[in-house]
Amino acid sequence: MNRGDVIEFHLDTRSGVSPYLQVVHQVRHALRLGLLLEGDQLPTVKEVVAHLAINPNTVLKAYKELEHAGLVAARPGIGTFVTKTLSDSSLAAHGPLRQELQRWLGKARRAGLDDESIEALFRDCFRSALDEGVA
């Protein structure tokens, strides 16, 4: 169909997250999971808005932010291309980390915590770790 076969965006209108941020997050997510590799072309602004029916300025803003973060580069007249992935160093660590997390989740459930408590506990730790500058 179009070159956007590499990645297709979707919009969650009820998430409260602004559309341009959703696009940024989805690109970063794809980069992290290795779905987008260096040299891949992002869908054109025209392709994205033709699919999502959102304002082109939204997509431009998202791509600009990604460019600012050094993840993509725009080549005028040709398109926007990925320059750096997020996954190279950390992807290897994903496997063992995932296993540890699954073990911890099992422990939490056996201790009797329900879904909400698990999430609250995790968020609390995550935030305080942030404050301590660890994360």
Partner 1 sequence: MTAVLDTEGLTKRYGRRSALSDCTLSIPSGHVVGLVGPNGAGKTTLLHLAVGLLQPTSGTIEVLGSRPAESPAQLGRVGFVAQETPTYEALSVADHLNFGAWLNPSFDAEMAGRRIDELGLDLRQKAGHLSGGQRAQLALTLAIAKRPELLILDEPVAGLDPLARRAFLQYLMESVAEHELSVILSSHLVADLERVCDYLVVLVASHVQVVGEVEGLLASHYRLSGPRRDPSSLPSSQEVIESSHTERQSTMLVRIESPILDPAWTVEEVSLEDLVLAYMGRASDAGRVQRRSGRAFR
φ, ψ of residue 80 to 5 degrees: the values are: -115, 130
80/85 with CB nearer partner 1: 80
Name the minimum Å distance from CB 56 to partner 1.
Answer: 4
CB of 58 to partner 1, least distance (A): 7
Nearer to partner 1 by C-beta: 20 or 86? Answer: 20
How many angstroms separate the Cα of 44 from the Cα of each of 1, 70, 78, 132?
Answer: 13, 18, 9, 40
Binding residues (CB under 8 A) for partner 1: these are 11, 13, 16, 18-19, 45-46, 49-59
User: Strand ranges (DSSP E) for the chain?
Assistant: 72-75, 79-82
Q: How many angstroms separate the CA atoms of 128 and 116, rounded?
A: 18
Shortest approach of partner 1 to residue 22 CB, angstroms? Answer: 12
Q: Are 79 and 38 in contact (CB under 8 A)?
A: no
Backbone angles phi, psi at 71, to 5 degrees: -90, -30
Smallest separation (angstroms) from partner 1 to the CB of 89: 35
Pick the closer one to partner 1 by CB: 11 or 108. Answer: 11
Comparing CB distances to partner 1, the nearer of 28 and 51 is: 51
